[in-house]
Amino acid sequence: MKNLKIAIQKSGRLNEKSVQLLKNCGLDFENYKSSLITTVNNFSLEILFLRDDDIPGYVAQGIADLGIVGENVIDESQAEVTYLQRLGFGKCTLKIAIPKDSEIQDLKDLNGKSIATSYPVILQQFLDEYQIQADIQGISGSVEIAPGLGLSDAICDIVSTGGTLKSNGLKPFADVRRSEAILIGREGLEEDPILCELLQRIQSVLRAKETKYVVLNVEKINLPQITEVLHGVKSPTVVPLAEEGWVAVHTVITEDDFWGKINTLKAAGAQGIVVMPIEKIIL
C-alpha cells in the first residue's frame, strides 16, 4: 500500500504539538528535528517538515497528501484544499493593532491609513467587508515595529498573548479573524483507507483530551440522583463495594461538564471522587 505524505511545520509554534499529536496517535518515527522527511515505522505515512507558508501549496499540488497548518495560513495562501479536522491547538487571533497614543478610535478611522501586515489577502477581505479604503503595506518579519519606524499607522498580525504588542507600544484595536491548527488534505483524498484510519486515531485522541474518567463512591440509596447527573458515553458503570449498601460509579465526562456538576454530585452524596486522564476514546 502506498504511503501517504503529511506536511507539518518544521519549526515554530505548531511544530511541537503537531509532532505530539502524531505520536499520541501511536505513530513511531524518529529524527524529525534533523531531517526534512521521515518515514513512520508502523503506519503507511511519511512526514515532511516544511515552512508553514509552504504547506497549503504543497497539499494543493499533491506533493503532500495531508498537512497540519494554521487556518490563517490556509486562507492567506488561497490554496484549494479540503478541511478534514480542526485540531484544537495553535489558537490565536489575527488582529489590527495601533499605537497606544493613536487617534484612531473607530474602524472608519482606518480610511486613508497605512496598515503593515504579513497577511494582505485576509486583511483586504476584512477591509472590503467594512468598506474601508486603507493602504496595505505587505511586509514579512517583525510587523510590530512598523509604526515605530514610521512605516505604517497600524499593523495586522497574529496575536496570542499580546505581550509583543505591549512591548512595542501597541494595543489591540480590532479582531480580523480567529485561527487554529487544521488537518487539511488534497482534493479527492477523503475516501482513502489510510486517511480514514489516521482520522479515527486523531479523533480518538482529541476526544480523550476533552474528557476525564471519573470514579466515585455513593450509597446505593442515592444512586438514582448520581446517575441522573452522570450520563457518560452511554451510561455510568455501577460496581458494588465490599461495604454493604455502597457502590462505585465509573463514567466518562467532559472536563468542563465535570466541574459544572461537581457540587451537584457532592450534594447527592458522592464521596471519594477520583478524576483520571484518558489516553484515547474510540466510539
Please, is 26 exposed, middle or buried when counting C-beta atoms within 10 Å of its C-beta (0-12, 13-18, 19+)? middle
What b/e string do you get for 197-214 counting C-beta neighbours within 10 Å, with b at 16 or more? ebbebbbbbbbbbebbbb
pLDDT tens digits along 3-12: 999 999 998 8
* pLDDT for the residue numbered 228: 86
**Three-state secondary structure of 82-122:** EEEEECCCCCEEEEEEEECCCCCCCHHHHCCCEEEECCHHH
Place of cell 450520563: 231
Please give the Cα distance from 143 to 207 (Å, whole number). Answer: 37
The pLDDT, as a whole number, for residue 161 is: 75
Percent of the chain with pLDDT over 70: 97
Q: Is 80 exceeded by the pLDDT of residue 234?
A: no
Considering the four listed CATH numbers 1.10.10.1590, 3.40.50.11540, 3.40.50.300, 3.40.190.10, the one that applies to the domain covering 4-89+180-190 is 3.40.190.10
Helix spans in the chain (H) = 15-24, 55-60, 71-77, 120-129, 163-167, 193-210, 223-229, 255-267
What does the pLDDT average to over 145-163? 90
Residue with cell 506536511: 7
Quote the mean pLDDT of the chain: 92
Domain 211-277 falls in which CATH fold? Answer: Alpha-Beta Plaits (3.30.70)
Q: CATH 3.30.70.120: which residues of the chain?
A: 211-277
What confidence tens digit (pLDDT) does each residue in 256-280 have? Answer: 888 888 899 999 999 999 999 888 8
| Global confidence as pTM | 0.84
pLDDT for 3 equals 93
Left (φ > 0), alpha (ψ -120 to 50) or beta: where does 50 sit? beta
User: Which part of the chain is CATH 3.40.190.10?
Assistant: 4-89+180-190, 92-179
Give the pLDDT score at 247: 95
**What CA–CA distance (Å, rounded) separates 169 from 205?**
40
Higher pLDDT, 31 or 51: 51
252 neighbors 210 (Cβ within 8 angstroms): no
Identify the top-confidence range among 33-47, 59-73, 221-235. Answer: 59-73
Q: Give the CA angle between residues 187, 193, 198 to the nearest 5°.
A: 85
Contact (CB, 8 A) for 120 and 136:
yes
pLDDT at 1: 65
Residue type at position 42:
N
Q: List pLDDT tens digits, range 88-129.
A: 999 999 999 999 999 999 999 999 999 999 999 999 999 999
What's the CATH class of domain 92-179? alpha beta
Q: Mean pLDDT check: name the lowest of 158-167, 172-181, 260-269.
A: 158-167
Answer for the pair 14, 181: CB distance below 8 angstroms, yes or no. Answer: yes
Distance CA 46, CA 39 (A): 4
User: Is there a contact between 1 and 194 (Cβ–Cβ < 8 Å)?
Assistant: yes
Per-residue confidence (pLDDT) for residue 183, from 0 to 100: 98
Digit-coded pLDDT (tens) for 183-217: 999 998 988 999 999 999 999 999 998 888 999 99
Q: Cα Rg for the chain, rounded, in angstroms? A: 24
User: What is the arrangement of strands in the sheet containing 246-254, beginning at the earlier edge strand?
Assistant: 237-240, 246-254, 211-219, 271-277
Angle at 189 between CA 188 and CA 190, to 5 degrees: 100
